[in-house]
Structures are given as structure tokens and as C-alpha cells.
Structure 1
Amino acid sequence: MAAELDDTDRRILDELTADGRMSMRTLAERLHISRANAYARVERLQQSGVIRGFTADIDPAAAGLGTSAYVTVNLRQHDWREVRAQLLRLDGVAHIGLLGGEFDVILLVRARDNADLRRLVLDEIQGMPGVLNTRTHLVFEEPRPTMGFGRSRTPPAER
């Protein structure tokens, strides 16, 4: 069941999405709420599973992963769980999505270069039992998303 989020909760999510290391004091000041209220709301959002954790936002290219691609996969339906388990263990797979429609799975993969991408897709992924075929879509540019949870689509740092 989805948590009930009000405008303040969404603004908290916007701010923490932009800067997960923001202090509670700064968060409270930006939202014009008390620190106690900020602490309580963030704790509630964590306990309810809305906030799953805090992570570093890594630039893949700066970390040596200069090639990215979306790989769509068709597979034998009864092999889904085993293929998923193998994909989760595979270095370079940044995201796995089970789809409805033309493709069964979409992957965001990151590799050092085109040769590494080729190895990952042709040797590792296509070599998995249950994988019928793949299509690879190179990513030319990845602008940083400005995902917002509230009404504003302007990144919090620019408000």
C-alpha cells in the first residue's frame, strides 16, 4: 500500500533527491518547518519504505564506465527467475526492469568501452540459458534527471 504523502513530504523528497547529505537543519530551513518536524517526517518516510536509503550519485564516465546502453531481452517465460538471478550477479547491469509488451526485460548496462559492452551483451547476457534474443540501444548522452516528487520540476538547488 502506498504511503499518504502531503506537499511537505514531497518537498522533503525533492530536497533529499537533490542532496541526500543535506543536514536536517538545512532541510528544515528550506521547507520552513522545525527541525523536530523534519526529523519526524524523514523517519516516517524511512519507516514506511518511501525512502529506501541514501546513496552517492556516481558519474559513470568519471568512474571509468564510459559506455552505456539499454538492452532489451526476450526470454523463455518459465526461465525468468533464473535469468533474473544471473543478471543480478552480473557486473555492469545497473538496472533491471520486467516489462509487458514487445520485450520481456530491459537492462541499463554500463561498460568501460564498446569492446567491454560487446563482451557483456554477446558473451554474458546472450549466453544465459533462457535468453532468446537481445537488442542493444547505445546511450549517447545522459543528462542528469531532475526528478521531482512535488509540484515543482525545478531542481531544489535552483529555486
Structure 2
Amino acid sequence: MRGIDDTDRQILRLLLEDGRRPYSDIAERVDLSPPAVSDRVDRLQELGLIRGFTVDVDRSMLREGVPVLVDVQVEPGNAAAVRSSLSTAETVEHVFTTADEHVVFTATAPEADVQSLLDDAVEMAVIEEYTVDLLADTSWNPSLGNAELAPSCAECGNTVTAEGESTKLDGTLYQFCCSSCQSRFVEQYEQLREGVDS
């Protein structure tokens, strides 16, 4: 599996600054042709490193409630479900899960009513307690640093290195740490697909 190089990182940084930046502008800055930039962006999307291009809305310019930071302690085993539910809530901006299964999120609470926001978004029975802090200001600055590409193996969960394998199945690219994991995964995938087609 090919990793990412300095040119890929430059392209990603430029897209983080402005997701609508034209490929011709990026091409000038990284010394490539626009089609070469397009190919690299397509590859980064296929790898799953670029998940999409979004709009960064400055909610402080909108009057719709009070900006809050909420730390929710959930019953063990429920953090993923709570995080998933909160991620789809209209007024929630960012959701994080800590190693000790706290779910922390930023939101704009209508009429400063966090209880109603939680009632609408999650199953309250799994919430043990929560704390709310009013936010004075926020900024969101995603960055790359010198990070290396390190996807997880679709079969065993280990980190996939440059020696890893990849396979596209039904339009989805899967990464594997070794050929054994790739073989097992593909074999199981084919068996499941045959079972569905039968």
C-alpha cells in the first residue's frame, strides 16, 4: 500500500485552509498539473483519508441559542451509541469520545436548555450524569503535522503499513496489514455475498 508523501500533505493542508480551492491553484503551489492534483485527491478520497468537503459555519454570527460544552458520562458500553446519536443532532457541532467513555460535545443549546437537547438526541437511561460549561469562544483548526497514513486492517484491526495490501470490493476500498488477512476477509466477503445472492 502506498502511503502519503509530502506533496499529499501539502495538498491536504491547502484543502484544509479552503476546501473550495481550485485544483489549478493547488497545482501551482505543489508544482504538479491540475489533473495530477485531481488524481491525488481522488486517491486520498478512495483511501478514506478525505471523507468529504464541508462548510465551516461561524455559529457565533447566528442567533439561535447558547454555545455550550457538555461532558456526558454514560453507562459502560454505551458511548458509541450516544456519540452516534449526538452526531446527527441538528445543534451539535463536534462530538468526542474519551477513553473512559465520556462523550464530550459542543453545541448551541436553544434557550440554554441542554436537558431538552439531550432528551431529543439520546436515550437518557444510559446517561449517568453530565456537566455543562458555557463557551466564550471556539476555534477549530484541524492540522496534519507530519502524520503518516495508518489505516486499520479491515480483518484484524492492526495498523496497515506500507507493506500492507488493499482490495476494492463492490466499490469500497478495504485495507489489510498482510496478505493472510486480505485472503480471509475476501473469502468471508465472497461467502456472504454468495449467501445473499442465493
Greater gyration radius: 2
Matched, 1:134 2:130: yes
1:150 deviates by 4.5
1:139 CA drift (Å): 1.5
Unaligned runs of 5+ in 1: 152-159
SS, match of residue 16 in structure 1: helix
The question of 1:108 aligning with 2:102 is answered no
What letter is aligned with 2:115?
A: L
TM-score, normalising length: structure 2: 0.62
Is the Cα–Cα contact under 8 Å of residues 7 and 150 in structure 1 kept in the other structure? no
- % identical equivalent positions: 30
Q: Deviation at 1:125?
A: 2.0
The 10-residue stretch of structure 1 (63-72 or 130-139) with the greater mean CA deviation from structure 2: 63-72
Question: One-letter code of the match for 1:133?
Answer: E
Opposite residue 125 of structure 1, the aligned amino acid is L
TM superposition shift of 1:144: 5.2
Query: In the TM superposition, what whole-angstrom CA distance separates every residue of 1:96-144 from its partner, at most 9, and x where no partner exists?
Result: 222113x6211111235xxx23x2x223426711111101122211245
Aligned to 2:143: 148
Alignment: residue pair count: 143
Q: Aligned Cα RMSD in Å?
A: 2.5
Q: CA deviation at 1:33?
A: 1.5
1:52 maps onto 2:51 in alignment: yes
The residue number in structure 2 matching 1:122 is 115
Shift of residue 95, structure 1, vs aligned partner: 2.2
Give, as a single letter, the amino acid of the residue that structure 2 aligns with 1:40.
Answer: D
| Corresponding position of 1:96 | 95
Matches of 2:88 and 2:18, distance apart in 1: 29
Equivalent position amino acid for 1:30 in 2:
R
CA gap of 1:24–1:49, structure 2 versus 1, over 3 A, is same
**1:3-55 deviation per Cα after TM superposition (whole angstroms, max 9, x unaligned):** 72111111101100111111111110111222222111111111111111111
Deviation at 1:65, TM superposition (A): 4.3
TM-score by structure 1 length? 0.76
2: distance between equivalents of 1:84 and 1:144? 19
**Using CA pairs below 8 Å that are at least 6 residues apart, which structure has the higher relative contact order?**
1
Alpha-carbon distance in 2 for matches of 1:66, 1:14: 32
Unaligned runs of 5+ in 2: 147-198
